Amino acid sequence: MGHTCSVVATEDTVQEAPPVGPRDAASARMPRWLPRAMVLALALVAGFQFASWAFHELTSLLLNILIAFFLALAIEPAVDWMAARGLRRGAATGLVFLGILIAVAGFFALLGSMLADQIVTMVEDFPNYLDKVISWVNTTFHTELSRVEVQDSLLHSDWLQKYVQDSANNVLDVSAQVLGGLFKLLTVTLFAFYFAADGPRLRRALCSVLPPHRQSEVLRAWEIAVAKTGGYLYSRGLMALISGIAHYILLEVLGVPYAPALAVWVGLISQFIPTIGTYLAGGLPMLIAFTVDPWYAVWVLGFVVIYQQFENYLLQPRITAKTVDIHPAVAFGSVIAGTALLGAVGALIAIPATATLQAFLGTYIKRYEVTDEARVQGGTRRPRGMSRLARVRRALRRGEGGAASGASAPDEADAEPAAPVAVPARPDRSDGAPPAGTVPAQATDTERAQAPAGALAPSRSPEPTGPAAGEPVPEG
């Protein structure tokens, strides 16, 4: 295969260029930056894939850290109060967590004993309940059912046997889920303890890598987050107390057993599970009330629905406006968005996170006073002066006045009188001109009609026919 040669001709000599091979031609056509760009693109794709995989694997840990952070923000005011009185932050944080642990353990112990006793009572009284239900069905629908037939059909039903088999096979799965939940609880508790105990040190470490003007912004955001999270928990605790007292009174009046424990259950579940917590919490009191009297369950259901409306429209807006300062519609939307993004965790932290973001951005948003517009005042203003119909009538009459002699001025009722213009009176002028703001005596009727109401024209005096004063009277 022969090589191609290029000849460069000049005026004096003819010089042959060196031969160019295929590899040299390819390298001459390819830009030098292209290989580096391809390697960089591949590295970016590989890094993005690795980051996506790592984020997917660490999602559970990140959620636990987020929950721990908001829990630390919630208990930080109590820890600061104890630390200000001479107690070390670690010991103060431990005391706060010990109090929370005792309260939660006591609540679940009381609730568990109540449920255990009630389940035993329901199992013992199940034949009597079944007899009552069968008697009511036979009386209402004229049937001939018996308790023995109903029990045999229930015990030998396919769905019950399948449910028992599935429950036996899922024992290991349930045990694994319980252990996983305990491990997550321990992780959240440890991170929250470190965040609360080492709060000042954590803030200093975070601010040490930022310039001074950014440090103030971070500290302000931290303080706002602490205030809003504490206010959110305070408002929820207050509404839980009110809800528990209201439901306790109802259950005590109806004679439902374990009224105090049920009231605490309703208060906590209804407030710390937003939007649908009241309906979920009302299920257990309805079940216990049904064991006493079926109509009591209906009364409890009606009270739960009415109280939920009272809380949504009257109680919650007033309390939330003073503690969290967030609109109820914004709170509801934030709960829905948090649930869609993070599930139950997002529903819990959505309101304090939204309130913190709103308060932090409010310091950078400049607000202006609303102008006093006509629409704001309720209705459009009509400009002073004549209406269009009055102007058309005046133009028509003006034309008639110019065509016919002795035309009268337009009617004053057709036009709205303009505001009089106050013009100070001038003394007599030497040039004989009328004062400013008046209509000259020689003006026509049309000009007089167009003049303002305050401009009064001097009356026309008849021209003197006789001699002026001081002149001699001619004889004859």
pLDDT digits (tens, 9 = 90+) for 412-470: 444 444 444 444 444 444 444 455 445 555 555 555 555 555 454 454 444 445 444 44
pLDDT at site 3: 46
Helix residue spans in 208-343 (DSSP H): 212-254, 259-272, 277-281, 283-292, 294-310, 316-323, 328-342
pLDDT of residue 342: 79
Tell me the per-residue pLDDT of 216-251, one tens digit each, with 9 for 90 and over: 888 888 888 888 888 888 888 888 889 999 999 999
Of the pLDDT bands very low, low, confident and very high (cuts 50, 70, 90), residue 5 is very low
pLDDT tier at 300 (50, 70, 90 boundaries)? very high
pLDDT at residue 414 in the model: 44
Whether the Cβ atoms of residue 192 and residue 72 lie closer than 8 Å to each other: yes
| For range 176-184, the mean pLDDT | 85
CB contact at 8 A, 307 and 243 = yes
Residues facing residue 14 across a β-bridge: 9
Tens-place pLDDT, residues 62-71: 888 988 988 8
pTM as predicted: 0.58
Between CA 243 and CA 237 the distance in angstroms is 10
State pLDDT tens for residues 59-94: 888 888 988 988 888 888 889 889 999 899 999 999
Strand duo 7-9 + 14-16: pairing = antiparallel
**Residue 196 near residue 79 (C-beta atoms within 8 A):** yes
Q: What is the pLDDT of residue 168?
A: 66
